[in-house]
Structure 1
Amino acid sequence: MGGDIVLWMLGLLVLLILLGTHIGVALAICSGIGVWLMLGALEPAISILGNTAYEAVRKDVFAVIPLFVLMGEFISKSGAAGDLYRVCDRTMKRLPGRLAIATITGNTIFAAVTGVSIASAAAFSRIAYPEMMKVGYKQTFALGAVAGSACLGMLIPPSVLLIVWAILTEQSVGALFIAGIIPGIVLALLFIAYVIIAAVRSPDVAPPFDGDLVKLTPEEVRSEVIGSFGIIFLIFLVIGGIWTGWFNPTQAAGFGALGALLIAVIKGLGWRELYQAVLQAGRTTAPIMFLLITASMYSRLLGIGGAVNFIQGLFAQAGLDPWQVIALMVVIWLIMGMLIDSVSIILLTVPIFSPIAASIGIDPIAFAIFGILVIEAGLLTPPFGLLVYTVRGAVPDKTATLGKIFIGSTPYFVLILVAAFIVLFMPWLATALPAALL
C-alpha cells in the first residue's frame, strides 16, 4: 500500500510542477498528503513532518551553503574574477584560442571559490565575451566558451550541488568535495582540447594572437596580484584545510567567507557593495534552504512508504540490466534538465536513484560525481538551460540570442556527458583522492 501511495504522490508531484507550482511547495504538499494517507490520521502526519523539518534545519552542514555562497559573492563583487581572467590571458597568449582557454581556466579556478555556476556565467559574460568579440572571435564560439565553462562551478569544490547531494544521501561533504577535483580537471582539459582543436582546424572561429599585450600601470598590477593570488589563497585555505583535516566543511566555509571578506576590503569594496553581497547571498541561499527542508520531508515520505524497495522491485520485474538502469537515469535527468533547475532535479531523483545505483554495485561517491555531471549538462539543455539564460541576460550584446548560445554550447554539453561516462567506467577518478586523503 505504501509503495502505491508513493507512486500516486510522485504523479501528483510531477503534475503540480507542470502546472507551475513552486518545487518546494509541491514537495511539501505531496509529502503531507502522502504521510497522512499512509498513517490514516492528520495529527501524527503533521508531527512527523514537523520534526523532520526541525531536524533538517538543526544540521551543522546546512551552514555550509550560505557561507560558501557568501564567499563567492564577496569575490565576485570585488572584481577578482576579472583579475584572474587577465592573468590567465597573459599566461596563455601563444596558445590557439587563447581567450577561450583563459575563460575556461579562469572559470576552473573561479569555480573553486564560488560553488555556483550562475555566478561564473554572469561574471565571465561581462569580462571574457567582450574581449573575445573585440579581437574577432566567432560569436557562437565565444558564447559557447562562456556558457560551457561556467558548468565547472557545479563540479569543482566547493559546489552547492555536491553539498545538496551529500545532505540528501548522508554522505560526507568533504569526501564529495575532494572527489570532484580530478573529474573537474579532466573536464576542464577536455574543454581546452576542444578549443585548441577547433582553433587550429578553423582559425576564423578564434583568430591567433597578434601584437603585444597592453602594458599595465602599477595600480593595475597591484589589483591583479591581489585578485588572482587572493583566489588561489582561498582555494588552498578551503580545500587544503579539508584535505589536511584542519577544518570540517562547515569550518572551512566560515574561514573561506572571512578570507573573501578580507580580500574584498583590500580590493576597496565599500560598505554598500559588501551589504549588496550579503543581501545577494541571502537571496541565493534562502530558496535552496527551503527546498532542502521540503526535500527532507519528501525523503521521509519515501522512507515511510518503502519507496526505494518498491521501485527496485519494479526494476527487477522489468528485467533491466545495470547499464539499462543507468541509461534510464540519464534520460530522466536530461529530460528534467529541459524543464527545471539542477537543485530541484537532485531533490526529486537522488533519494530514489542513489540507493538503486548502490544496489547494482556502483560506488556512491563515483555515482555522485557521475550524477552531478549529467545534471550539469542539463544547465545547457534547451528549452530551460539555466546557464544559457544567465549568459543571455549578462552579455552586453543584443545580438547574442538564445539560439546562438545553445549552438555554441553544444560541444561542451557533449563533453560533459563524455566526462560523466569516463567517471562511471573509471570510478577511481572520483574515489582515489577521498580514499587517500580522508
Structure 2
Amino acid sequence: MEWFEALALLLGSIVVLMAIGMPVALAFLAANIMGAWVFMGGAVGITQLLNNGFGSLTTFALVPIPLFLLMGEIFFHTGLGARMFNAIDRLLGRLPGRLSYVTVLGGTGFSTLSGSSMGSTALLGSLMVPEMTKRGYKKHMSIGPILGTGGLAIIIPPSALAVLLATLAQIDVGALLIAGVVPGLILAGFYIGTIWLQTRIDPDAAPAYDVDPMTLAARLGLFLRDVVPMVGLMIVIVIMMIGGIVTPSEAAAFGALGVLILALVFRCLTWEAIKRSVTGALKVTLMAYLIVFGSATFSQLLAFSGASRGLISWATGFELDPVMMLLVMFAVLLVLGMFMEQISIMLLTVPIFFPLAVQLGFDPVWFGLIMLLALEISFTTPPFGLLLFVMKGVAPKETTMRDIYLSAIPFILCSLCVVALLILFPSLALWLPGR
C-alpha cells in the first residue's frame, strides 16, 4: 500500500467515526485497532500496539495534567476565583471599561487553571456579559475580552493543554510551559491596549459608573488579601520551574497543595467543594489519558505504515521556504479549528506536523507555542469558530452572530501580532527556557 493510501485509510476512518457521533478518543482507538490489523499483522499487531499504548500512559510527564486540573477545580468550586474577580473589580474603581479589564485579568487566571477554553467562555459569558450589558457596555466591550482570554490562558503557565501538547509531541513539558511566559505577557499588553484604545475612541462603549469610595489602606488590604495570594501562587509556580527548583510535575503538586491551603485559610474548603473538584478533575483527566493513548498508537501506525515518512518527503519536495511551510501548517490549524475541538486537532496533526517541523529546522518548543496560539485563534475565527457559537448560546438573546464576529476580530488581530513577533524574534519564546 502506498503511503498516501495508508494515510487516507487511517485519517478517513477517524473522520467517518467522528462524523457518526463516536467520541473522539474512542474513534481514534477503533481506527488504531483497524490499522494495526491491516499494517501490523492482525491480532499480534493489535496486541503489540496496545502494549505500546499502555506504555505511553506510564510517563512521568503526564502527572501535571490531573494536578493542574485539580488546582483549577478547587480554585473555582471553593469561591477563591470569585473573590479575586470581585477584588479586581473594586480596585479598578471608576476606570473606563473596568469590567472589560476585570474579564481579561480575572478570566485569564481562571481559564489558565481550568484548561478548558469552551468551559471558561461559557462561564464568563453567563457571568460577565449580563452584568456589563446592565451597566451600559456595548457588545464589543463585553464579548470581545471574553473571547480573547482563551488565547492568553493557553500559553501562560500553568496550562494543562500545553502539558498535553508537550506530552503528545514528546517535547520538554517544562520548556514549553516556560516559553509561554514572555509571549503571554506581550499578548496581555496587547489586549489591555486594545481595551484602552476602544474606550478612547468611543467613551460611551463602556460608561463609568459610581462605586463605593475606598481609602488607600482599604485598597491595599483588599489587594493583599484577595489578589496577591491567588496570583502569587501562580507566579511562584512559574519562578520555581524557571529556576529549575522543581519539575513541572512537582510544580503542579505544589500548586494543588497551595490552593488547598488558601481555601483552608479563607475558610471556604468544604467536603462538597472537594467532591466536586475531584470529580471534575477526574473526568477531564480520564479523557486526556484516553487521548494520549490514542495519539501514541496513531503516531506509531503512521510511522509503521510509512505514511509519516511519505508525507514529510512529499511536503518537503515542494522546496518551499520553511516560513511558507509554517504558514501553510498554521492555516490548516485555523481551518480545522472552525469545525473541531482543540484536543481532536492535536490528535490529528501532532504526529504529522512535529516531525515535519523538525525536518524544516524549527525548534520543537517554539513550534509547539506557535501551534498552541493557532489552535486558540482558530476557536474564535469567523464564521465557524466554536467559541463564537458557545458565546452565542450564553449571551443575551438580542446578541447576533455579527455582533460576536465583530467583537472577536480585534483580539484575533492581537494574537496574530504575537505570532508574527514569534516568527520574527524566536528568542521571545526561547530565551527563558534557555534554548
How far apart are the structure 1 equivalents of 2:152 and 2:140? 19
Query: Is the contact between residue 93 and residue 211 of structure 2 (CA under 8 Å) also seen in structure 1?
Result: no
How far apart are the structure 1 equivalents of 2:306 and 2:342? 25
How far apart are the structure 2 equivalents of 1:331 and 1:236? 33
Once the two structures are superposed, what CA deviation does each residue of 1:203-255 show, in whole Å capped at 9, x if it has no partner? 22222x34444559x99998875442221232133222212222211111112
Q: Which residue does 1:422 correspond to in 2?
A: 421
How far apart are the structure 2 equivalents of 1:335 and 1:310? 23
Q: Which residue does 2:175 correspond to in 1?
A: 175
Q: Which residue does 1:279 correspond to in 2?
A: 279
Stretches of structure 2 lacking an aligned partner (at least 5 in a row): none
Among all aligned residue pairs of Structure 1 and Structure 2, give the percentage whose two residues are the same amino acid: 31
How far apart are the structure 2 equivalents of 1:71 and 1:261? 8
Residue 125 of structure 1 pairs with residue 125 of structure 2: yes
Residue 155 of structure 1 pairs with residue 194 of structure 2: no
Q: Which residue does 1:11 correspond to in 2?
A: 12
Query: Is the contact between residue 154 and residue 162 of structure 2 (CA under 8 Å) also seen in structure 1?
Result: yes
Q: Which residue does 1:320 correspond to in 2?
A: 320
Q: Which residue does 2:264 correspond to in 1?
A: 265
Query: Is the contact between residue 85 and residue 106 of structure 1 (CA under 8 Å) also seen in structure 2?
Result: yes
* Paired AA for residue 18 in structure 2: I
The structure-2 alpha-carbon separation of the partners of 1:281 and 1:406, relative to structure 1 and needing over 3 Å to count, comes to farther
How far apart are the structure 1 equivalents of 2:169 and 2:240? 23
Residue 300 of structure 1 pairs with residue 288 of structure 2: no
Query: Is the contact between residue 62 and residue 164 of structure 2 (CA under 8 Å) also seen in structure 1?
Result: no
How far apart are the structure 1 equivalents of 2:302 and 2:165? 16
Stretches of structure 1 lacking an aligned partner (at least 5 in a row): none
Q: Which residue does 2:238 correspond to in 1?
A: 239
Once the two structures are superposed, what CA deviation does each residue of 1:293-338 show, in whole Å capped at 9, x if it has no partner? 1111111112212333211111133343323322221221111111
The structure-2 alpha-carbon separation of the partners of 1:387 and 1:283, relative to structure 1 and needing over 3 Å to count, comes to farther
Residue 144 of structure 1 pairs with residue 131 of structure 2: no
Q: Which residue does 2:250 correspond to in 1?
A: 251
Q: Give TM-score scaled by structure 2 length.
A: 0.90
- 1:4-403 matches, cutoff 5 A: 4-39=5-40, 41-93=41-93, 95-207=95-207, 209-213=208-212, 225-267=224-266, 268-382=268-382, 385-393=385-393, 397-400=396-399, 403=402
Query: Is the contact between residue 241 and residue 247 of structure 1 (CA under 8 Å) also seen in structure 2?
Result: yes
Q: Give TM-score scaled by structure 1 length.
A: 0.90
* Paired AA for residue 35 in structure 1: A
**Shift of residue 90, structure 1, vs aligned partner:** 4.1
**Shift of residue 402, structure 1, vs aligned partner:** 5.1
How far apart are the structure 2 equivalents of 1:78 and 1:220? 23
Bigger shift: residues 236-245 or 64-73: 236-245
Bigger shift: residues 300-309 or 104-113: 104-113
Q: Which residue does 1:408 correspond to in 2?
A: 407
The structure-2 alpha-carbon separation of the partners of 1:302 and 1:242, relative to structure 1 and needing over 3 Å to count, comes to same
Query: Is the contact between residue 88 and residue 227 of structure 2 (CA under 8 Å) also seen in structure 1?
Result: no
Query: Is the contact between residue 76 and residue 119 of structure 1 (CA under 8 Å) also seen in structure 2?
Result: no
How far apart are the structure 2 equivalents of 1:263 and 1:80? 8
Bigger shift: residues 102-111 or 64-73: 102-111
* Paired AA for residue 419 in structure 2: A
The structure-2 alpha-carbon separation of the partners of 1:214 and 1:42, relative to structure 1 and needing over 3 Å to count, comes to farther
SS of equivalent to 1:370 = helix
Query: Is the contact between residue 373 and residue 419 of structure 2 (CA under 8 Å) also seen in structure 1?
Result: yes
Root mean square deviation, CA, Å: 2.7
How far apart are the structure 1 equivalents of 2:191 and 2:104? 7
Q: Count residues in correspondence.
A: 432
* Paired AA for residue 141 in structure 1: M
SS of equivalent to 2:285 = helix
* Paired AA for residue 33 in structure 2: G
Query: Is the contact between residue 169 and residue 354 of structure 1 (CA under 8 Å) also seen in structure 2?
Result: yes
The structure-2 alpha-carbon separation of the partners of 1:185 and 1:220, relative to structure 1 and needing over 3 Å to count, comes to closer
How far apart are the structure 1 equivalents of 2:420 and 2:307? 27
How far apart are the structure 1 equivalents of 2:177 and 2:159? 7
Once the two structures are superposed, what CA deviation does each residue of 1:350-388 show, in whole Å capped at 9, x if it has no partner? 111112112222221111111110111122135653434
SS of equivalent to 1:435 = coil
SS of equivalent to 1:434 = coil
**Shift of residue 349, structure 1, vs aligned partner:** 0.2
How far apart are the structure 1 equivalents of 2:69 and 2:402? 30
The structure-2 alpha-carbon separation of the partners of 1:326 and 1:18, relative to structure 1 and needing over 3 Å to count, comes to farther
**Shift of residue 264, structure 1, vs aligned partner:** 2.4
Query: Is the contact between residue 2 and residue 38 of structure 1 (CA under 8 Å) also seen in structure 2?
Result: no
How far apart are the structure 1 equivalents of 2:259 and 2:175? 23
**Shift of residue 412, structure 1, vs aligned partner:** 1.5
How far apart are the structure 1 equivalents of 2:265 and 2:229? 10
